[in-house]
Structure 1
Amino acid sequence: MRPPSRVSISSILTPAAFKSLLVSSKTPVIPLDATWYLPNVGRNGKEEFMLERIPGARFFDIDEVKDSSSPFPHMLPSTEVFNKAMSDLGITREDTLVVYDKQANFSAPRLLWTLKIFQHPSIFILDNYPLYKQEGYEIDTKRLSAVEEAIPARSTYESPGAIEDRVVTYSDLRQVIIEPLFRKKFNIIDARPYSRWTGDAPEPRPGLPSGHLPDSISIPFNEVLEDGTKEFKNSSKLQELFLAKGVDPDKPIIAMCGTGVTACVLETALGKSGILPEDKAVMVYDGSWTEWAQRSDDKFIIKGKQ
């Protein structure tokens, strides 16, 4: 695997900074709601968007805009599918996009990463929607119908293409894992809860074994967020956390989780931490544990602590 190309981390906006951006931006600012819930939660992000949203927001459905030929959930779409989704939302490459989700910082980083992979020029993440509400900023609670939610002014969106060397496939990761000496040249960080990483707790998808990859590092995504507000921790706290966990900034970093969603929380946090050299960027294993646990040999599914 060759090192990934470097793309600068998008800005992380406080609610106040987001409101300032709406006033100061010389290009249209479009909020994108990326709310997504684990299948065992029993909630629907799209349905909640129809009831409540930031004014002017549009809904980007990571469960719909995906590689529909894959048996694994919300894998990255092709450039053609991505372009169509953006066009259907009335988005152009001149627009400034601000992503958010109703769980604070859970699925919005996945959309942030997707937009970076497809090279949208101007993207930010709101840190975060519950704080935005708590601080009294405007919320649109008009109940939308499917017709009202549709964006009438369809655009023509053309991405220059995906940055493929920032996306890790199963075959890429298997090549790393097979040889113990080779895999020690990488940081493999796992954002799932620690008890799923050890194999003590079940995965949310029935029949999927829990556990972890050999030599992987457990960094549950909540650890990069403040306990109360779920904001990203500041840079110094993040640096301390990643270094204490054993992340070596001089080695390539592969982030994973259950299905490639909260891995992007770690990817965003690593960018904010400032520990990465200028020529390094975080790679994300798109299929993550859901794919690995179904395709890998049992000897590469580890239970217990390392």
Structure 2
Amino acid sequence: MFKPKLMLVFILAITLIFSVVGCSNQTTTKSDSEPAQASENGYSNPGSLVSAEELKDLIDDGKVKVLDARDGKNKLLGGFIPTAIDIDRNATSVEVNGVKGMLPNKENFEELMGSLGITEKDTIVVYDEANNLWASRIWWALKVYGHKDVKLLNGGRDAWKAAGYETGKAAEVATSTYKAKEANENLFATLDSVKESFNNKNLLVLDTRSEDEWKEGRIPGAVWIEWTNTINQDGTFKSVDDLKTIYEEKGVTSDKEAIMPYCKSAVRAAHTLFVLQELLGYDSIKNYDGSWLEYSVSGEQIEK
């Protein structure tokens, strides 16, 4: 007479065991997925960056032109990423009307790219070993002249070495014909643009220089956030959350009509433009091309 009860207890026990096992499997599955979720950086345009592993795949597939923007002295020792083309990191800076460090004109830019064997259809990855400082300048110049597919190596050459990949000599290149578009005025600011900010709170000037430079003199009303604040110790870019905190705490928000970063000669400012535009998705970021070299001799007021 007790067999039905025993059978019911047995069924309940089996059900309980499978229920526990099922929860355990679900937990394991969730845990397994966490690393993949954590690896998603959440950047507005993640395609503007590549990891060392991703670059290795692009090189192996023959689908990329790599530009080495390191300091020339370091290049004497070699250390080029395979297939990398040697580009003078100052090549996108010329003197215009007595102001050094300005963008070259369209024709000169086309000549530069052609001398490197680059075409406007190429996928380009630029790297350096200075926290992507000079790579960002070259990236910005390419974007100003309409190059569609250009990326930075996150972490620079140090990331490549940390991944255990080999380095060697620079690639030999054959010249090409490069066709640039007209300069995109939405990507750079002028002295007149900066002066407009004096009477317009929706136009924000962003000083990316060092604290010493900031204290010595600055554009009136500028907000100071040194460009290095956006970089982790290993040279990679900080997370979206960290970057948002850095900028929003200083009032550098995406609702501004325009944000105009500057430094001495629009190099550090180009790095900040990359962060705000590509990683945080801000609109209307305009690198002040003349930067402090132009402003400091313009006769305009200097704030201290």
TM range (shorter): 0.7 to 0.9
| Maintained 8 Å contact 1:214/1:301 | yes
Cα–Cα, structure 1 residues 249 and 69, in superposed 2: closer, same or farther, change >3 Å? closer
Moved over 4 A (4+): none
> What amino acid is the match of 1:244?
E
Match runs of 1:1-306 below 5 Å: 11-23=48-60, 28-35=63-70, 45-52=71-78, 53-127=80-154, 128-140=156-168, 142=169, 151=173, 153-177=174-198, 179=199, 182=200, 184-199=201-216, 211-226=217-232, 228-251=233-256, 252-274=258-280, 276=282, 280-297=283-300, 300-303=301-304
**Deviations along 1:172-228, whole A, 9 cap, x unmatched?**
222333x3xx2x2212111101222122xxxxxxxxxxx1111111110110111x2
Q: Structure 2 length normalisation: TM-score?
A: 0.78
The alpha-carbon distance between structure 1 residues 238 and 212, as it changes in their structure 2 partners (threshold 3 A), is same
The two structures, once aligned, show a CA RMSD in angstroms of 2.2
5+ long unaligned stretches in structure 2: 1-44
Which structure has the greater CA radius of gyration?
Answer: 2
> Displacement, 1:60?
2.5
Aligned length: 258
Give the whole-Å Cα distance in 2 for the aligned partners of 1:21 and 1:281: 31
CA distance in structure 2 between the partners assigned to 1:125 and 1:34 by the alignment: 11
C-alpha distance in structure 1 between counterparts of 2:89 and 2:98, whole Å = 15
* Between 265-274 and 112-121, the greater mean CA deviation after superposition: 265-274
Contact 2:93-2:104 within 8 A present in 1 as well:
yes
Separation in 2 of the partners of 1:108 and 1:217?
Answer: 24
| Aligned residue type for 2:134 | S
Distance in 2 between residues matched to 1:104 and 1:242, nearest whole Å: 19
Identity of aligned residues (%): 30
How far apart in 2 are the matches of 1:68 and 1:290? 11
AA partner of residue 49 (structure 1): K
d(CA) in 2 for partners of 1:70 and 1:59? Answer: 29
The change in CA–CA distance for 1:195 and 1:16 in structure 2 (over 3 A counts) is same
3-state SS of paired residue (2:125): strand
One-letter amino acid matched to 2:116? L
Contact kept, 8 Å, 2:92 with 2:138, in 1: the verdict is no
Equivalence for 1:208: none
Deviations 1:222-248 (A, max 9, x none): 10111x212110111111111112112
The 3-state SS of whatever aligns with 1:245 is coil
TM-score when normalising by structure 1? 0.78
Distance 2:57 2:63 in 1: 13
Aligned residue type for 1:79: K
Q: Is the 8 A contact 2:194 2:205 kept in 1?
A: no
Whose helix fraction is larger, Structure 1's or Structure 2's?
2
Tell me how far apart the structure 2 counterparts of residues 94 and 131 of structure 1 sit (CA, whole Å).
Answer: 26
